[in-house]
Amino acid sequence: MTVGIAGPQNGSVTRIGSCADRVSALWQTFDSGRTRPLRWRLAQLDGLTAFLRDNERDILDALFTDLGKPEFEGFASDVGAVILEIKTLRKNLPRQLRPRRVRTPLTSRPARSYLYPEPLGVVLVTPAWNYPVGLAVLPAAGALAAGNAVALKTSEVAPTTASLMMALLPNYLDRQAFDVFLGGPEVAEELLQERYGHIHYTGNSRVGRSVMRAASATLTPVTLELGGKNPVYVHRDADIATAARRIMWGRMFNAGQTCLSPDYVLAHRSIKRQLLAEMKKWIAEAYGSDPQVSPDLARIVNDRHFDRVIALLDGAGEIVAGGKFERATRYVAPTIVDEPDLEHPLMTEEIFGPIIAVLGVDDPAEAVAFVAARAQPLSAYVFTGDDDVVAMFTERTSSGSLVINHVFMHAFNANLPFGGVGESGMGTYTGKHSFDCFTHWKPLMRIGLKPDPPILYPPYSRWKSVVTHLMFR
């Protein structure tokens, strides 16, 4: 069988036709059975890996153009980590394709029961702009591994990266089963009018609601990876220097334009002053006396988002570090705001910039109550060695994930599902969980022709009723 991977020597791809026609073509490919063989699925995963390796330099350059992203951060998030995720998918795929035998109850014997993995059809992937390669390739890899065709709508907010993926990515995949769409909200709206087996969206909750409304028209299942106000609690027993370093790294990575970034810190009052000092110290250690000239601090993605981020500083609270900005280069200094007004947008909206707020609390119970009273975040972080404090946050707060003594490292563990809860999203994926995300596990039962007990069939005599009641006790 020809797997249908075209090499990069074939040049860029130009697709002609309406969104409806192109999605219909993907359905035709899927319905033909082309995407189901293991060899085809492995070939697509190998193609994605080759795309990342062959074009690493161009990808990093595009990320710098769109986001001013340092090469280290661009490689770690959009290339290296993605390759490792695909490797995990590929390793597990032959085993995951096998039907899963499950127990058959006495009432159904003799029989054998299975869960049979079935692809969903055409999957629409709509990634966010902050990690425009990684958040496109990761769900696409999961969908292809599960035997689906993929329609990828790139983010217009990262235009250089979007154009690169349009030009190069289809060259490494089966073009009959994979299509890339460029354009803004109007293209997204047009795509959402079509039928899919699954929709995977990464972005903000406002658009996420629109995606869900559109999906409801065709009862299409969705995965929504959104965001929220990610809290950090630093207990009095924490290693303050380490906590400050890890919190600030997580906040400043990609200039804070990360859905998992810590938004605010709840610090035990006994160590709050020391924590603030260490956070300020880290800024100088990481970016020097003038962060604006540091090659290691990314920029805000565009003017609209720059204006939104800067507005969050107006009247928010005492700025104890940073606060400087330059619109021409979309530079925002690493900024710490002490004791902000809780009703200010800095504390009610997702920041998505290099700004972090710090508030003092008297004890972990106050921190737990503070977090529990607000919308469920995508992730929560706790710095402590006290198991009772860990248990308190585990049991009394709800978040997409919880990490102790670090920030967003769980996103690099392919054995853990990634996703939100409540306002921060629904559904999970990444690593070996991506296969399940894009698969219908169809119940399958095989029953012999004999015996064929008469108890099942009318007329329903009294003895049949008695026996049935005994069987189901």
Cα separation, 384 vs 393, whole angstroms? 11
In contact, 174 and 197? CB cutoff 8 Å: no
**If 0-12 CB within 10 Å is exposed, 13-18 middle and 19+ buried, where does residue 355 land?**
buried
Cis bond leading into 170, ω under 30°? no
- Give alpha helix (H) positions in 198-239: 205-216
**Bridge partners (DSSP) listed for residue 335:** 355
Residue 473 domain flag: no
Residue 456 domain flag: no
| 295 shares a domain with 400 | yes
Residue 448 domain flag: no
Least Cα distance to 66 among 128, 124, 141 occurs for: 128
What residues make up the domain containing 213? 8-226+426-441
| 381 shares a domain with 263 | yes
> pTM, whole model, 2 decimals?
0.92
| DSSP element (H, E) containing 267 | strand 264-268
CATH no. for residue 277? 3.40.309.10
**Which residues in 39-156 belong to E strands, given as ranges?**
100-102, 111-119, 122-126, 149-153
Q: Which residues are catalytic?
A: 225, 259
What's the total number of domains in the chain?
2
| DSSP element (H, E) containing 250 | helix 240-252
Residue 472 domain flag: no
- Provide the b/e sequence for 193-220 (b: ≥16 CB within 10 Å): ebebbbbbbbbebebbebbeebbeeeeb
At residue 61's C-alpha, the angle toward residues 227 and 296, to 5°, is 65
| 287 shares a domain with 390 | yes
In tens digits, the chain (473 residues) has pLDDT values of: 333 334 443 444 456 689 999 999 999 999 999 999 999 999 999 999 999 999 999 999 999 999 999 999 999 999 999 999 999 999 999 999 999 999 998 778 889 999 999 999 999 999 999 999 999 999 999 999 999 999 999 999 999 999 999 999 999 999 999 999 999 999 999 999 999 999 999 999 999 999 999 999 999 999 999 988 999 999 999 999 999 999 999 999 999 999 999 999 999 999 999 999 999 999 999 999 999 999 999 999 999 999 999 999 999 999 999 999 999 999 999 999 999 999 999 999 999 999 999 999 999 999 999 999 999 999 999 999 999 999 999 999 999 999 999 999 998 888 899 999 999 999 999 877 899 999 999 999 999 888 888 888 999 999 989 988 888 77
| 172 shares a domain with 43 | yes
| 266 shares a domain with 201 | no
Token pair 């406002």 is found at 206
| Paired tokens of 210 | 């629109």
Do β-strands 439-447 and 111-119 pair in parallel, antiparallel, or remain unpaired? antiparallel
